[in-house]
């Protein structure tokens, strides 16, 4: 019955985009307790590493159904952690992220491309500091298996590393926009663990 319905749609709307007829990939729940986002930025000479302590979002993914795969991730700027309270407070101000006006960083991706064995690329939009840019987010599917502690569930793990420029998003105003002390390149490392019913 469903196949006949799809055939009717194709006949009635031959110009329709094939992706519009694609079934959604399975929905995965991001395990916030076992997922992480860290970053590295140069301070004069030395890499400074920090993190954001919360990550949430929605994920649909199937290696066999990339057209039906998509992701949205939200990261509260307030949760930044560089292990120095005074520095973290400063990073939340209008000198940098302006967390009061722009509380979240958001990534939305709806184009998944296979790049090789267990390697993929997500094309999407990244919003930081109220500025939205197109980005390509590469990731590796580390593995998928039955969850060892949750019956009737699957668990998957993925990792990603990519670099953006803070100047592209207006992070750093006045003298803090200069790159002699704080570098422009920000390397972001993501680790995502997600689960779904079998």
**CB 68, CB 24: distance < 8 Å:** yes
Domain boundaries, the chain: 22-197
With b meaning 16 or more CB within 10 Å and e meaning fewer, what string describes 45-82?
eeebebebeebebebbbeeeebbbbbbbbbbebeebeb
Place of tokens 């002699």: 180
pLDDT at 5: 42
Under 8 Å CB-to-CB from 25, ≥6 apart: which residues?
60, 61, 62, 65, 66, 68, 69, 70
At the top level of CATH, which class does the domain 22-197 belong to?
A: mainly beta
pLDDT at 22: 63
Burial of 166 by CB count in 10 Å (0-12 exposed, 13-18 middle, 19+ buried)? buried
pLDDT per residue, tens digit, the chain (198 aa), is 544 444 443 444 444 444 444 699 999 999 999 999 999 999 999 999 999 999 999 999 999 999 999 999 999 999 999 999 999 999 999 999 999 999 999 999 999 999 999 999 999 999 999 999 999 999 999 999 999 999 999 999 999 999 999 999 999 999 999 999 999 999 999 999 999 999
Q: What is the DSSP letter of 67?
A: G
pLDDT at 176: 94
pLDDT at 29: 97
Round to whole Å and give the CA distance between 118 and 45: 34
CA nearest 120: which of 17, 190, 55?
Answer: 190
Round to whole Å and give the CA distance between 145 and 147: 6
The two most distant CA atoms of the chain are separated, in Å, by: 65
pLDDT at 89: 98
pLDDT at 100: 98
Parallel, antiparallel, or unpaired for β 119-128 and 131-146?
Answer: antiparallel
């Amino acid at each position: 019955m469903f196949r006949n319905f799809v055939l009717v749609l194709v006949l009635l709307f031959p110009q329709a985009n094939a992706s519009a007829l694609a079934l959604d990939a399975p929905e995965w729940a991001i395990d916030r307790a076992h997922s992480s986002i860290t970053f590295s930025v140069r301070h004069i000479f030395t890499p400074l590493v920090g993190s954001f302590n919360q990550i949430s979002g929605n994920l649909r993914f199937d290696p066999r159904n990339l057209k039906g795969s998509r992701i949205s991730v939200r990261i509260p700027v307030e949760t930044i952690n560089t292990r120095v309270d005074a520095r973290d407070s400063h990073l939340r101000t209008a000198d940098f992220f302006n967390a009061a006006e722009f509380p979240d960083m958001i990534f939305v991706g709806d184009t998944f491309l296979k790049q090789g064995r267990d390697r993929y690329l997500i094309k999407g939009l990244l919003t930081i500091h109220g500025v939205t840019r197109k980005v390509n987010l590469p990731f590796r599917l580390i593995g998928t298996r039955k969850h060892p502690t949750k019956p009737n569930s699957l668990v998957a793990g993925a990792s990603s590393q990519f670099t953006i420029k803070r100047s592209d998003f207006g992070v750093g105003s006045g003298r803090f926009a200069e790159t002699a002390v704080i570098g422009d390149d920000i390397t972001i490392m993501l680790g995502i663990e997600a689960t779904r019913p079998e």
